[in-house]
C-alpha cells in the first residue's frame, strides 16, 4: 500500500514497505492529503477512498483502545 506521508515542494512524499517515492503533484487527478492510500490508473495517481477510510478507521480504533 502506497501511503502519502506529507506534501512538500510540489511533491507528495509517499512510502510503501519503507521505500520512499516523491511523486509530482501534477501526476494526480485530485488533490492528495497526508494519509491517503494511492493507486495508479490511466497514468495518473488517485486516492483509493475505500482503503484510505479503512486505514483511518483502523488507526482510530487502535488509538481508542489505548485509553480503555
Q: For residue range 9-53, what is the model confidence (pLDDT) as tens digits?
A: 999 999 999 999 999 999 998 889 999 999 998 888 999 999 999
The boundaries of the domain holding residue 21 are 2-66
Indicate whether 65 pLDDT > 90: yes
**Residue that is written with C-alpha cell 480504533 in the block:** 61
Indicate whether 68 pLDDT > 80: no
Total domains present in the chain: 1
- Entry pTM: 0.85
List, in order, residues 6 or more apart from 52 with CB less than 8 Å away: 35, 36, 37
Indicate whether 67 pLDDT > 90: no
* CA distance linking residue 19 with residue 32, whole number of Å: 19
* CA distance linking residue 1 with residue 15, whole number of Å: 8
Amino acid at each position: 500500500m502506497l501511503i502519502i506521508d506529507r506534501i512538500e515542494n510540489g511533491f507528495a512524499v509517499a512510502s510503501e514497505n519503507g521505500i520512499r517515492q516523491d511523486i509530482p503533484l501534477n501526476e494526480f487527478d485530485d488533490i492528495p492529503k497526508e494519509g491517503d492510500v494511492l493507486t495508479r490508473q490511466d497514468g495518473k495517481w488517485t486516492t483509493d477512498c475505500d482503503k484510505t477510510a479503512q486505514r483511518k478507521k483502523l488507526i482510530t480504533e487502535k488509538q481508542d483502545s489505548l485509553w480503555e
